[in-house]
Amino acid sequence: MTNTEELLIGLLSISDRAAQGVYEDQGIPALEEWFGQALSSRWRAEKRLIADDRATIERTLIELVDEVHCHLVLTTGGTGPAPRDVTPEATLAVADKVLPGFGEEMRRIGLNFVPTAILSRQVGVVRGRALILNLPGQPKSIRETLEGVKSADGAVVVSGIFAAVPYCIDLIGGPYITTIDQVVKAFRPKAKKNEG
């Protein structure tokens, strides 16, 4: 299957301090680097850096999906239990469909590395023809969440969430995504043969 449409990825970093220039955002550069290593199909990124403010997050998600027409939007930051952590609420507010498996799997992956992963409230949703996923804020955690848990020899022990993303994008009408298997192998069910 071939599709020449370019994947448009919205990268949304949500951090009061990074948005104010107190420190440099690390989420967006980490995601750009990861996609550069993980995808073999064409892609480009639309980037935004905003504060932890629910109304601003909702407006930005709507803009990236409805106006910019991103196929995939990844947020970083704002998913913990602190009072200013409102990314999941904003994401759910703009959703057409909730995909609970993404949040469940992100926490399961994280628990292989830190016990505090249980505090994460990350969600995955569909809005229109776009998939929106809340990722952790730290570059190491972002990579682990996308790639999964690997043994010392590089074998996948627990699949990362990105293994399911290309097929999800197929199902909601987006471009065909191919990956570099050594980083993350996209999973698609084998087509059933028509039995007559």
Instruction: Tell how strand 124-127 and strand 72-76 pair up.
Output: unpaired
Tell me: pLDDT of 141 over 80: yes
Listed residue (180, 137, 132) closest to 36, CA to CA: 180
Q: pLDDT value at position 3? A: 57
Give residue 173's region: left, alpha or beta (phi > 0; psi -120 to 50): left
Q: pLDDT value at position 21? A: 80
Q: What is the pLDDT of residues 64-106, one digit of tens each?
A: 999 999 999 999 999 999 999 999 999 999 999 999 999 999 9
Q: How confident is the model at residue 20 (pLDDT cuts 50, 70, 90)?
A: confident
- Percent above pLDDT 90 for the chain: 82
Distance CA 138, CA 19 (A): 16
Q: pLDDT value at position 192? A: 52
Encoding tokens for residue 60? Answer: 């930005």
Length of the chain: 196
The mean pLDDT of the chain is: 93
Distance CA 25, CA 153 (A): 32
Domains of the chain as residue ranges with CATH: 7-171 (3.40.980.10)
Planar angle of CA 29, 30, 35, nearest 5 degrees: 100
Distance CA 24, CA 22 (A): 7
Q: pLDDT value at position 194? A: 52
Distance CA 70, CA 33 (A): 19
Q: At residue 113, what is the residue type?
A: F
Q: How confident is the model at residue 33 (pLDDT cuts 50, 70, 90)?
A: very high
CA atoms within 13 A on the CB side of 74: 26
